[in-house]
Amino acid sequence: MILTLLEGITAIIHYCLLDPTTQYHQLLVNVDQKHLFEARGGILSILHMIMSSVTLLWSILHQADASEKMVVAASASVTTINLGATKNLRQQILELLGPISMNHGVHFMAAIAFVWNERRQNKNPSRTKVIPAASEEQLLLVELVRSISVMRAETVIQTVKEVLKQPPAIAKDKKHLSLEVCMLQFFYAYIQRIPVPNLVDSWTSLLVLLKDSIQLSLPAPGQFLILGVLNEFIMKNPSLENKKDQRDLQDVTHKIVDAIGAIAGSSLEQTTWLRRNLEVKPSPKIMVDGTNLESDVEDMLSPAMETSNITPSVYSVHALTLLSEVLAHLLDMVFYSDEKERVIPLLVNIMHYVVPYLRNHSAHNAPSYRACVQLLSSLSGYQYTRRAWKKEAFDLFMDPSFFQMDASCVNHWRAIMDNLMTHDKTTFRDLMTRVAVAQSSSLNLFANRDVELEQRAMLLKRLAFAIFSSEIDQYQKYLPDIQERLVESLRLPQVPTLHSQVFLFFRVLLLRMSPQHLTSLWPTMITELVQVFLLMEQELTADEDISRTSGPSAAGLETTYTGGNGFSTSYNSQRWLNLYLSACKFLDLALALPSENLPQFQMYRWAFIPEASDDSGLEVRRQGIHQREFKPYVVRLAKLLRKRTKKNPEEDSSGRTLGWEPGHLLLTLCTMRSMEQLLPFFNILSQVFNSKVTSRCGGHSGSPVLYSNSFPNKDMKLENHKAFSSKARQKIEEMIEKDFLEGVIKT
């Protein structure tokens, strides 16, 4: 029945759309040409609806074929429609569409674009995808077009070009995507699925389509798809034999990338009318999703904006994201090794748009910032691009607000810094020199001391990040100079901000230098750790005396006292709390790393954590004086903090427990409000390494496990080594990444 119906429809449509004299040798009656043209116009006006129905039938045939291939046992439970011979129906559909596509190609492809839009997924699982992935139903549309014998690749390309130039009027809901964008979405999926030889043979037609599309002022999503089509061609056919073809490809690539770059810069504005400097527009960006890109924007923009030639800045993030995904590899493929110089002007132009986004650390600019960092990271992997971004990247790195970014950006910046420092040794030396100059220059009497110290801390932090971004022992030959910089920083008393960065630097060195190279630095690291723990102990023991004898200081309502070691500390000052946290994190890392990685630390650990013998209660006699054995700092501080929490119940953190696991960090705080927040950390360290005390491992629900001090036998060492897997190291590095961050400016 369906076959008979389809045959009848085919006869009617072909009679109206094709020249009757070519189909029928003898006509029984004379045909009124006026009526024939009206019928033809009517059929063409509803061709998109006819295509929609035919496509639905095609998809049902596809399902029927799939169900036939299933095993008999499973097929019994599958409901199928009795369609007769699917092969005959397929053939009849192709007989219907073949002549239409040959004689009315533009209307046929426009109808395909309309149906493509109908078959789109209502919900796209990946909202960040600039070029949306085709749905299963949409891919069946590609298969249908490929099945029509007269629709060769070259014919499809030429017909798509005509649709883009002059899209036929199709009655459609205003909220639908523009016909050009739908057409290009179909074409992109089509290009992905045709054989490489067919695509190569159609290069001339494809080049014309790409060139014309640049002149057509397509909406931004259409331009994204043009770049996607170009990228797909390059991936399938990296090189063209003809030099003229290759030069044409380079020229069209240059123009398309420039066009996308202009869209990327649409959220920027000039600082002044005289200067060409750009900055991010203050208005918050609107995020739209990849599938409903055009329709979402139509909902949000006024009709005046829709008809104007100004690219809405809503697309800038998508343009940057797309460039970050394809640009670096695309340029490397299109321009041969002896032509790389031609890439530099193009990249300089792109960087002109990228750098202003990277200078802006506000919250509303975060999506653009992320995309730009990813783009710069991908470009930095190719050494020939260095001239286009080296200076800008280093200037951004030295910006005071550099570390105000999202956590997802740090990994990209590590790659950029690695490429920046590795490919040119002078850059790292320049950074070392800046740190040395900042430290060697005596404090200016007329300058703000705090500002100068902040500058030193900032430079030290950047040097630490550069080393953190490197390979193991990459900067080992600079270690004596690095050690000198650290010791000079520690000589300055009462500078918690600077000393916090030194402890962060120590942690980086533990991960980036082999143990044998750090031997000379361990006495300094241990001494400083002891100094900080003594400070904490003095503050906790002197707390009551200070509160009785000292009033609020003029500078910040803080109580200040000077310890015997020359340090001056302010009770609950955020800078000093950051120093305490930084020092504890250093101890945390030293205990988490396998003992064979830190052989020198094993000689000092008894000073900080209780050994198995610490609980024995043995007493020693020295010079006839009866003394109790030395108590580790962790035990002493835990005891003092417990006393303080009893006096300040609102700051009590004793109820919070930490789960200890070999090779994992305990402290995940990035900042703290009071010293009491360290109590759970000291509590667990007081217990977990002492064989007489049981602790819960891996969370609240774990069963009590007995822990020994430092894995005394070989089996335990082996277990410890296994525990410190690559995954554990990755988590440690992620934690250190977070400690470099300073958040983003909230809007």
Query: Which residues are 270's β-sheet partners?
Result: 278
pLDDT band at 533 (very low <50, low <70, confident <90, very high): very high
For position 376, what pLDDT does the model report?
97
Question: Which class for 575: exposed (0-12), middle (13-18), buried (19 or more C-beta within 10 A)?
Answer: middle
546 CB contacts (<8 Å, ≥6 apart)?
559, 561, 571
Structure confidence at residue 316 (pLDDT): 93
Q: Are 504 and 463 in contact (CB under 8 A)?
A: no
CA dist list (Å): 167 to 146, 223, 307: 22, 16, 16
pLDDT, averaged across the chain: 80
Give Cβ neighbours of residue 542 (< 8 Å, ≥ 6 apart): 561
Q: What is the dihedral of CA 599, 601, 604, 606, to 10 degrees?
A: -90
pLDDT band at 561 (very low <50, low <70, confident <90, very high): very low
pLDDT at residue 544 in the model: 52
Please tell me the predicted confidence (pLDDT) of residue 513.
95
Mean pLDDT is highest, among 33-37, 38-42, 51-55, 258-262, for 258-262
State the pairing for strand pair 625-628/560-562: unpaired
The torsion angle over the Cα atoms of residues 2, 8, 13 and 14, rounded to 10 degrees, is 120
Return the pLDDT at 523. Answer: 94
User: pLDDT for 306-362, tens place per residue?
Assistant: 333 444 578 999 999 999 999 999 999 999 888 899 999 999 999 999 999 999 999
CB 531, CB 565: distance < 8 Å: yes
Query: 697 - beta bridge partners?
Result: 660
3-state helix, strand, coil in the chain (%, to 5): 65, 5, 30
Strands 568-570 and 619-622: unpaired
- Residue 290 near residue 132 (C-beta atoms within 8 A): yes
CA atoms within 13 A on the CB side of 529: 27
pLDDT over 90 percentage in the chain: 46
Q: What is the CA radius of gyration of the chain?
A: 35
pLDDT at 370: 95
Least confident of 91-100, 620-629, 654-663: 620-629
pLDDT the model gives residue 565: 41
Q: Which amino acid is at 569?
A: T
Per the CB < 8 A criterion, the answer to whether 281 and 267 are in contact is yes
The answer for residues whose C-beta is within 8 angstroms of residue 424's C-beta and 6 or more apart is 386, 390
- What would the pLDDT profile of 291-313 be if each residue is shown by its tens digit? 455 444 444 333 333 333 444 57
Q: List the chain domain ranges.
A: 1-201, 415-740
Q: Is 476 left (phi over 0), alpha (psi -120 to 50) or beta?
A: alpha
CA 633/CA 637 separation, integer angstroms: 6
How does pLDDT run across 652-674, given as a tens digit for each residue? 555 567 777 888 899 998 889 99
**pLDDT confidence bin for 578, thresholds 50/70/90:** very high
- Strands of 111-214 (E only): list them: none
Return the percentage of the chain with pLDDT > 70, whole number: 75
Work out the angle at residue 137's Cα, subtended by the Cα atoms of residues 135 and 142, and round it to the nearest 5 degrees: 95
- Is residue 556 pLDDT above 70, yes or no? no
Question: What tokens appear for 67 in the block?
Answer: 């169900």
User: Which tokens go with 356?
Assistant: 């202003």
Largest interatomic CA distance in the chain: 134
CB atoms within 10 A of CB 201: 14
Tokens of 39: 């019928």
Model pTM score: 0.83
Provide the pLDDT confidence category of residue 566 given band limits of 50, 70 and 90: very low
pLDDT at 721 over 90: no
Comparing 286 with 725, which gets the higher pLDDT? 725
pLDDT in tens, 372-421: 999 999 999 999 999 999 999 999 999 999 999 999 999 999 999 999 99
What is the phi/psi pair of residue 627, to 5°?
A: -125, 145
Q: Tell me which amino acid residue 94 is.
A: L
Q: What is the mean pLDDT of residues 130-143?
A: 90
Instruction: Please check the confidence at residue 258 and state whether its pLDDT lies above 90.
Output: yes
pLDDT at 607 over 50: yes
Q: What is the mean pLDDT of residues 151-155?
A: 92
48 neighbors 114 (Cβ within 8 angstroms): yes
